[in-house]
Amino acid sequence: MSGSSSEDDGAGEYVFYRDRSDWKDIKPIPQDEDDPVVAIDYSPQFIDVFDYFRAIVNKGEKSKRALKLTQDAVKLNPANYSVWQYRREILKELNEDLQAELHFVRAIILKQPKNYQVWQHRRILVEWTDDPSQEKDITESAINQDAKNYHAWQHRQWVVKRFSLYEGELEFTEKLIDVDVRNNSAWNHRYFTINNSTGFSDDVIGTEIGFTLKNINKAKENESSWNYLRGLIFQSNNGLSRNKEITSFCENLYQGGNRSIFLLSLIIDMCKEQLDKDIKDPSYELSRGIELCEELANKLDCIRANYWNYLADSLRRLSGGGDVKDV
Query: Do 187 and 248 share a domain, yes or no?
Result: no
Distances (CA, A) of 75 to 51, 58, 323: 15, 21, 67
Query: Do 278 and 323 share a domain, yes or no?
Result: yes
Let me know: does 169 contact 199? Beta carbons within 8 Å.
no
Query: Do 298 and 313 share a domain, yes or no?
Result: yes
Catalytic residue positions? 114
Is there a domain that residue 81 lies in?
no
The Cβ-side half-sphere exposure at 31, using a 13 Å CA radius, reads 14
Nearest to 155 by CA among 123, 108, 187: 123
Distances (CA, A) of 101 to 78, 96, 105, 124, 173: 14, 8, 6, 11, 29
Query: Do 319 and 257 share a domain, yes or no?
Result: yes
Q: What range does the domain containing 179 cover?
A: 166-237
Is there a domain that residue 147 lies in?
no
Secondary structure of 174-201 in HEC code, one letter for each residue:
HHHHHHCCCCHHHHHHHHHHHHHCCCCC
* pLDDT per position as a tens digit, 156-179: 999 999 999 999 999 999 999 999
Query: Do 196 and 271 share a domain, yes or no?
Result: no
Query: Do 224 and 256 share a domain, yes or no?
Result: no
Query: Do 280 and 254 share a domain, yes or no?
Result: yes
Domain count within the chain: 2
Q: What is the DSSP letter of 269?
A: H
pLDDT tens-place values along the chain, 327 residues long = 334 333 344 445 889 999 999 999 999 999 876 766 666 778 999 999 999 999 999 999 999 999 999 999 999 999 999 999 999 999 999 999 999 999 999 999 999 999 999 999 999 999 999 999 999 999 999 999 999 999 999 999 999 999 999 999 999 999 999 999 999 999 999 999 999 999 999 999 999 999 999 999 999 999 999 999 999 988 887 777 778 999 999 999 999 999 999 999 999 998 988 776 666 778 888 999 999 999 999 999 999 999 999 999 999 998 775 554 443
Query: Do 272 and 319 share a domain, yes or no?
Result: yes
> What type of residue sits at position 115?
N
Is there a domain that residue 306 lies in?
yes
Query: Do 182 and 215 share a domain, yes or no?
Result: yes
Nearest to 156 by CA among 129, 183, 182, 188: 188
> What type of residue sits at position 185?
S
Is there a domain that residue 177 lies in?
yes
Let me know: does 235 contact 229? Beta carbons within 8 Å.
no
Is there a domain that residue 311 lies in?
yes
Q: Write down the pLDDT at residue 124.
A: 98
Query: Do 229 and 254 share a domain, yes or no?
Result: no
Secondary structure of 65-121 in HEC code, one letter for each residue:
HHHHHHHHHHHHCCCCHHHHHHHHHHHHHHCCCHHHHHHHHHHHHHHCCCCHHHHHH
Query: Do 198 and 265 share a domain, yes or no?
Result: no
Nearest to 188 by CA among 221, 217, 159, 147: 147
Residue ending a domain, choose from 237, 252, 278: 237
Reduce the DSSP state of residue 268 to 3 states and report it.
helix
Is there a domain that residue 161 lies in?
no
Q: Write down the pLDDT at residue 6.
A: 39
Q: What is the pTM of this model?
A: 0.87
Query: Do 253 and 231 share a domain, yes or no?
Result: no
Residue ending a domain, choose from 237, 272, 299: 237
> What type of residue sits at position 271?
C
Is there a domain that residue 114 lies in?
no
Let me know: does 53 contact 69? Beta carbons within 8 Å.
yes
Is there a domain that residue 309 lies in?
yes
Residue ending a domain, choose from 204, 221, 237: 237
